[in-house]
Structure 1
Amino acid sequence: MRAQLSFAAADRLHRSAEFLRLQRNGVRFQSPHFVLYAGSLDADPARSRLGVTVSRRIGNAVARNRMKRRVREFFRKEMRAQLPSGTSLVVIARGGAAALESSAISSELTMAARNLSGRIAGRS
């Protein structure tokens, strides 16, 4: 049995086709440091999945990997519960995101999750 706060490989988006499908067909939300796309991929209707994209403009490999870990941790602890089940999410970090404190990342992504969950519910 899977722990509630785990983040296994099945909880991630892996293929670029999944990222592109969400970017084309999903609901978009833009904050000062992140762009988020959310939607349903119909792979597993009970599992929410996350994909994170961080470009080289954010910083070196250490900064990019730290940014991805921080976004995944927030998704695992808080954001997954705020989104409807079965929602897949792509988070794209923008310039300046690596310099943010964890609380600032949390507040931006919380605001985005609230907005996206309302727009997803209104769509269906």
Structure 2
Amino acid sequence: MVISARAAQNQQRLFDSTFASLYPAYVAKAERKARTHEEVDQVIRWLTGYDQAGLEQAIGDERSVEEFFERAPRLNEERLLITGSVCGVKVQEVEDPLMHTIRCLDKLVDELAKGKAMDKVLRRA
């Protein structure tokens, strides 16, 4: 799939933004649906392999989104099982590896906010 120059520019802007700037939006989305920031952290840790201290440090360091995922201790292989649409884009069809991982996190937070059980969100059952 070829993306337009404008889409590529927007994608790069996302990669260059800080993860710390995105994190509050993930938490707010979950909290609006009676979920907690601890659950959001659990989802992020599952996806990235960060422990809680590492996650907090990565947010505090104001790493770019790209650095956040590149420096993740271990991206969970189960992320490849994540399917479905986020903002009209099918996660499984995203070709860029970094964008795919970002979309996976978006999808996980969406599922959390929609009330799915944590075991389902984390692909345990």
Report the TM-score, using the length of structure 1 for normalisation. Answer: 0.30
Larger relative contact order, structure 1 or 2 (CA cutoff 8 Å, min sep 6) = 1
Which structure has more strand as a fraction of its residues? 1
Which structure has more helix as a fraction of its residues? 2
